[in-house]
Each structure stands twice: as C-alpha cells, then as structure tokens.
Structure 1
Amino acid sequence: MKEVNLMPHTNFLVNAAKSGDVLAMNQLVKQWQKRIYNFSYKYFNDYDLAMEVTQKTFISMNKNLRKLKEDALFKSWLYRIAANYCHEEVRKQQKRWVFPFMKVQGQHDNKDIENTVSRSTHENPEQVYGSKELKTVLKKALATLPEEQRMVVIMKEYEGLKIREIAEIMEISENTVKSRLYYALGSLKKLLDQWNVNRETVQYEI
C-alpha cells in the first residue's frame, strides 16, 4: 500500500504539542520557522538579528504553548512573540539603528485610507516597483519608516496577514492598523518618487 504523506493541520499539531507531544512540537517549528525568519529578516535586513529573533521566538513557543487558550489563535500568538522580540532587539540596537519618523503631508479621510488598504491587498511594494534591482532600494526605504509602520507593512504586504490578524498581533484596533498602513505606504511612495524610482528604471545606485 502506497504511503500518503499529509501535512498535519496546525490546530491538530498545536493541540498535540500542548499535551507534550515532542514530534508535534518539532513539526510546528518546521512549519513556521521559515516564515518567522523571513518576517524578522524583512524587519531588520540583518541575518544575525533575524536568527536571534527566530531562535528566541521558538524557545518561547516551546515554553509557553500550553498557556495558549485557543488553538486557532496560534498564528497570531506566534507572530506576536516574534514582533515583541523585534521590538526588544530594536531597543538593544538603538545606537546602531535610526528610524526617522516620516509623515505624509495633508489630511486624509477614512475613505482614502480604505482605498489605499484595499489596493495594497493586490500589490505589495516589490510587485509595484518591479524587479531584483529594486529590492535593495525597497529595503532602504522600509528602514526609514517608523517602527510600528514598518511592522504593519511587513505583516500585510510580505507576510500576507489580514488586517484582523495584525490587529490581534499588535493588540491595536483594525482602524489603527489601516491608518498605519496608509501612512506607511504613502511615505514609501513619496520617498521612492523623490529617488526617481519607478517601474521601468532605477536612475541611481545605493
């Protein structure tokens, strides 16, 4: 009889791991390690810091999983742990990292914010601005965003998390998530325009 290789459902693994199943715990790490590393790397653009956050996240997951009351909230819970460790590393690295606050000039109503957030569902920055040559540019642009805005952009545009999930992770309202995303995307667009970056060409080197 041919063996069928099925990926166990996350909720099943969480429930089993909470009961002390070591194999289930290891499978959870295997399933989520890459995503948490990619999230951390997008946030810092630094291999060592991303690895540090990833390791701490799964150590914390191992120690505290039994405290998770609802298995269905595992995804948000895990990202919240990673986000908290990112914040912690930022505080440690304050002398190295500078994240100047950037504001978009002018007043905007809720309709503007909803429209921008809706468009962002289909177009992340790399899709909008193009190819490999622009990845370095986008990393530099992301680094200029305030910490909380950068976190929202990475979660939404790169990790594909829903507004509701981001709100749960960051423990803020959905409207606050939308507002931060709106201003962050506006700041990125303004900065890229200032650098003469568009879909067709990069007119400078970093």
Structure 2
Amino acid sequence: MEETEWAARAAKGDQEAFIRLMELHKATLYRTAFAFLKDQHASIEAVQEVTARAYKAVRRLKNPAFAKTWLTRIMINYCQDELKRRGREPSSDRLPDPGARDAYDRFELDEALEALPGESRRLIHLKYFEEMKIREIAELEQIPEGTVKSRLHYSLRQLREFFTGKGGNADV
C-alpha cells in the first residue's frame, strides 16, 4: 500500500494506518526537528509530541496526498513554539564530531546556515535536506511557488557569498 492510501485510511480512523504513516515519516520529522532544535533529545521529544498532535487531528487531514506536508507543518509549528518557549534561537556553538571525515565542512555549512534568517534556513532545509518539491514547500508555507523560488534563490546567493568571503552577514 502506498503513502496516500495509508493517509486516507488514517484520516478515516484506522489506527494501524496511522502508525504506518508515522513510520514512513518519522525520519523526516526527526531531521526537521533537529534542524530547528539542534538537540537529539529535544528532537525525539518533538517527534513524540507531533505524533500525539497528529493522532488527535488526523481526521482533519483534507488531502491524503499531502500527508507528509501536513505532518511537517505540525513539526515546524511545534519547533517554533518550543523555540519561543525557550526564548532563544537554536545554539550555533555546537562543535563538529571529531570522528567525522567531513566535520570541518559540516561545521562550516552549519555556520553559514546559522547566518541566514530563520525563514531562509527553513526553506533551505525543506528543499535540500528534506528534498521537498517547490510545490510542496509552497503548500506547507502557504505562499506562491514563485515566492518560494525567489526566496530560495536569494538564500542560496547569501550562502554563496558567505562561502566566497564576500558576505558573512546574511541580514543584508
């Protein structure tokens, strides 16, 4: 059975279908939570909380084809609420894993992403780390596809400038 069928059955109250749907998307949800919260334990807790919230609201899922988008939106909202509750942005003082082969590159990428405004970071994460299509991002963010494209273009230009040494200040 494919994702859309699981989502449709879950929306009709099938608990097993809901469990299958969550199993399909738990890795994506975890990565999204970690991108915002920057903490493994908080990310696991976020997946648990989003699972509970989705279970309570699954009957309101209007279009089963957009189940992943719907779940991701719940996760983003939860993470933003959590960051507001903490009263701060995610920490950027993380050190790379010394055993990782590309630790320096990853650290540099993290630093560049942290220099971007929150909205730009979110779009970059959805497009390039979660591999969502422009259409899905537009639906998720509730903005036109053209706006997603232009904001991604601008964000990528800011990253390029950061890496070529022309920038470093993404607020420009």
TM-score, normalising length: structure 2: 0.81
Of all paired residues, the percent bearing the same amino acid is 32
1:94 aligns with 2:87: yes
Q: Is structure 2 residue 33 aligned with structure 1 residue 50?
A: no
| Maintained 8 Å contact 2:46/2:79 | yes
Q: 1:96 to 1:63 in 2, by over 3 A?
A: same
Report the CA distance between 1:155 and its aligned residue. Answer: 0.3
Q: CA deviation at 1:96?
A: 5.3
Mapped to 2, the partners of 1:44 and 1:187 lie a distance apart of 22
Q: Does the CA-based 8 Å contact 1:43-1:150 persist in structure 2?
A: no
2:30 maps to which residue?
A: 37
**Structure 2 residues not aligned, in runs of 5+:** 93-100, 167-172
Give CA deviations for 1:163-185 in whole Å, capped at 9, x if unaligned: 11101001111122112212211
The aligned amino acid for 1:21 is D
Q: What is the root-mean-square deviation in Å for CA atoms of aligned residues? A: 2.2
Question: Highest CA radius of gyration, 1 or 2?
Answer: 1
Contiguous gaps of at least 5 residues in structure 1: 1-7, 100-129, 196-206
**In 1, Cα distance between the equivalents of 2:41 and 2:112?**
21
- Name which of structure 1's ranges 161-170 and 17-26 shifts more when overlaid on structure 2: 17-26
Change in CA separation of 1:88 and 1:147 when aligned onto 2, cut-off 3 Å: same
Task: Map Cα deviations across residues 173-201 of structure 1 (whole Å, 9 max, x no partner).
Answer: 11221122122112222222229xxxxxx
Distance in 1, matches of 2:10 and 2:111, equals 39
Q: What is the aligned partner in structure 1 of residue 57 from structure 2?
A: 64
If the length of structure 1 is used for normalisation, what is the TM-score? 0.69
Moved more, 143-152 or 184-193: 184-193
Q: Distance in 1 between matches of 2:76 and 2:36?
A: 9
1:183 to 145, 154, 157: 154
Greater fraction of residues in helix? 2
Of the three residues 113, 119, 131, the one matched with 1:160 is 131
Cα deviation, 1:97-141, whole Å, max 9, x if unaligned, reads: 479xxxxxxxxxxxxxxxxxxxxxxxxxxxxxx944311221122
- The answer on 1:28 being equivalent to 2:27 is no
Answer whether contact 2:38 2:91 (CA < 8 A) is retained.
no
**Secondary structure of 2:139's partner?**
helix
Q: How much does 1:88 deviate?
A: 1.2
Task: Name the CA shift for 1:180/1:96 in 2 (closer, same or farther; >3 Å).
Answer: closer
